[in-house]
Structure 1
Amino acid sequence: MAMLNPTVTRAEIVERMTHDEFMEFAPEDRKAELIEGVMIVASPAFEPHEDLFGFLFAVLRSFTSQLKLGRVLGSRYAVYISETETYEPDILFVAADRAHLITEKKLTGAPDLVIEILSAGTARFDRGVKRENYDRAGVRELWLIDPYGPAGTQFYQRREGRLVEIAPVDGIINSVAIPGFKLNIAWLWPKEGGELPSPIAVLKELGVI
């Protein structure tokens, strides 16, 4: 059974596992993903990652719940891509008309929106093989967010059948997966010494409370 820390090189892989084996043996207390048949166990998250996760999860879950748009899940919920690929995105959204894909243990189709908060150990997977497989699976929108700043952050939306990188317009990403949701990228990186905005303040700004 292959189970690696993200820092282990591909040359050291000696065996692979199936999706069912991954679901059986993945640790309950750590984020783990099946990438090219290998279980990758993530290192513990740093504080900036957790702060950003908590903020985005609260805002997106409240927004979509208030407007009855669908379900927001994360970060230990599995997404089945193929027999060799099972991911646990930091945050995912599934539209209400596709809620039948949500089962107790995993999502059996592509999320509408995937958010990956990047870390040094896993960014190469998020930007590489995972992005490619999210594209093939039919994900409508992908945010790869660097918790330390905009330079390493990428936004993708599905256009003409594939995920295409887009740039914010006047500092705003208009979501194609969540109708009416406008991400102000200034929310993500407070000025030095500042804090992330209150989710309640953001929801008021978005006009849902």
Structure 2
Amino acid sequence: MKKRTYDELIRETPVTYEMYANMVDDGNRYEISDGVLELMSPSPTFTHQSIADELLHLLKLSCRNDYVIVSSPIDVILSNTEVRQPDLVVIHRSRMSIISNRGINGAPDLVVEVASEHSRRRDKVKKRVVYAQYGVPEYWIVDLSNLTLEQYVLDGTRYELTEVYSGNDTIHSQTMPCASFSMNGIVQSLPVPPDALE
């Protein structure tokens, strides 16, 4: 298959995973949303990356025996026309068959998005609907604007917001019972506090 550019594919509908996988690498990151190729937000901020890294570190410390935890960029191939790149992907070791060299083939057990100013609407509205539609059991949104973690648990085909954690609240998950941390614990572990950055 001939490699095509973003400018060529943006006019195609639907864009499939194979078309996306054979794009010319232009250094940008993309997702496929219902068959439409979408350019992802500008590069993540230092705070975004630091929080995602610290969360990855904490989850690996307490949960790596039971779960595979991977950070972005990794393709989560929910269907041939729905491909997402969450900030963190969690898969129980009993379900490792969904992992391949091309990415995650199907719904992970848990996905985490660190929502910034540029991605907040996409993470809280569009991705929440998509992850529920494809059966991801639990979805966390870490909101950088107020340093909270919103925990959504699948109820049928929709997510219920079960908890909003902030400060020293200890985060618990039925999907991932080994996880136990607080937002304050994450923030205090950052190399540069968020309020020290502009």
TM-score for both structures, normalised by structure 1: 0.76
Partner residue in 1 for 2:78:
81
Structure 1 pair 97–149 and aligned structure 2 pair: CA distance change class (3 A) = same
Q: What code does the residue aligned with 1:50 have?
A: Q
- 1:165 & 1:131 partners in 2: Cα distance? 11
Contact 2:133–2:157 under 8 Å retained in 1? no
Partner residue in 1 for 2:99:
102
Partner residue in 2 for 1:154:
150
Deviation at 1:30, TM superposition (A): 3.8
Contact 1:175–1:183 under 8 Å retained in 2? no
Structure 1 pair 171–140 and aligned structure 2 pair: CA distance change class (3 A) = same
Deviation at 1:137, TM superposition (A): 1.2
Q: For each residue in 1:138-179, what CA deviation from the matched residue of structure 2 results, as whole angstroms up to 9, or x when unmatched?
A: 11111111223246x522122456421022477122112212
Partner residue in 2 for 1:165:
161
1:91 to 88, 108, 111: 88
Deviation at 1:70, TM superposition (A): 1.7
Residue 137 in structure 1 maps to residue 125 in structure 2:
no
Partner residue in 2 for 1:39:
38
Residue 21 in structure 1 maps to residue 24 in structure 2:
no
Instruction: Report the more deviating stretch, 156-165 or 114-123.
Output: 156-165
Contact 1:2–1:14 under 8 Å retained in 2? no
Partner residue in 2 for 1:186:
184
Q: What code does the residue aligned with 1:178 have?
A: M
- 2:24 & 2:152 partners in 1: Cα distance? 29
Structure 1 pair 49–100 and aligned structure 2 pair: CA distance change class (3 A) = same
Q: What number of residue pairs does the alignment pair up? A: 184
**Superposition CA RMSD, Å:** 2.8
Instruction: Report the more deviating stretch, 154-163 or 39-48.
Output: 154-163
Q: For each residue in 1:46-69, what CA deviation from the matched residue of structure 2 results, as whole angstroms up to 9, or x when unmatched?
A: 11101101101111123222xx10
Deviation at 1:104, TM superposition (A): 0.7
Q: For each residue in 1:53-95, what CA deviation from the matched residue of structure 2 results, as whole angstroms up to 9, or x when unmatched?
A: 1101111123222xx1020011011001122210011001000
Q: What code does the residue aligned with 1:166 have?
A: T
Deviation at 1:23, TM superposition (A): 1.6
Q: What code does the residue aligned with 1:57 have?
A: L
Look up the SS of the partner of 1:176 in the other structure: coil
Partner residue in 2 for 1:206:
none
Look up the SS of the partner of 1:98 in the other structure: helix
Q: What code does the residue aligned with 2:79 have?
A: S
Identity of aligned residues (%): 21
Deviation at 1:14, TM superposition (A): 4.0
- 1:63 & 1:21 partners in 2: Cα distance? 38
- 1:98 & 1:21 partners in 2: Cα distance? 27
TM-score for both structures, normalised by structure 2: 0.80
